[in-house]
Structure 1
Amino acid sequence: MFASVPRKDQRAKGDRYLRGLMLDSRRKSLQAMAARLPDGNEQNLQQFVNQSTWDPVPVQRRICERMLPLIAPTAWVIDDVSVPKDGRMSVAVAPQYCGALGKRANCQVAVSVHAATDTASCPLQWRLSLPREYYAPASPSTHP
């Protein structure tokens, strides 16, 4: 999947991260994945996710190329996932409707497109949904 990533160490960390995501477990935090992987290193996974610079487009393209023939989708599913957050230090966190809680709360919202059949599904594209305040100019009443 990560053949397009230029550095060998980043490709290795990407492969570990992908294996961690595919492990059978409900907890997909970096700490939990690192603990379950035989070659898991939380700091390496954290660096790959948060600090490595690489273009995700070729990786997403490769996922599509490999998975579409296997799944032979009968439907395209557009879905949103919300993640409740404390504070505002993560990107795109704002008070907004949080489906995970069923009410308005501080959270991130991601939107994805999946290829799907009755027996299989694969995310092919995903993005954080930016709250309005991220792209709309601040109103004059919010500044003293």
Structure 2
Amino acid sequence: MNAGRSARRTVTWRQGTKTSKRNPTAEMRSQFTALRVRPANKDIPRAADGSLPECWLIAEWPHDTAEPTDYWLSTLSTDTPLRELVRICKIRWRVEHDYRELKDGLSLDHFEGRSYLGWHRHVTLAALAQAFCTLLRLDPKAPAQA
């Protein structure tokens, strides 16, 4: 275990959009710590010697709270930097944003068919439409929408 990982450190995982007097650059940041642990569970496969596998326990401990507020387990390698562990833990926001965009803007929730094949086609086309819209948004030469 890397003992240096157990101390809380402030990590910025991405740039936000909402600025304030306390945060004029809109950085998304908090305090985090990461420790190597061996979670115990009867369903976790053991190594040949009977030991449980090590993984990361990442905890978010915001500056203004008395105790950690969020926890994650990760099987990333032991040399993964804390900043990368945090970025991956916090990527859930991107997944939720994409899902909301697919559901609300690209009709993922409008399918009312009765077959798996029909649902699969609908989801495939909705995902392609979302990917196309994302590529358009990333293109600096694409015209802005009114």
TM range (shorter): under 0.3
Structure scoring higher RCO (CA < 8 A, sep ≥ 6) equals 1
Larger relative strand fraction: 1
Structure with larger Rg: 2
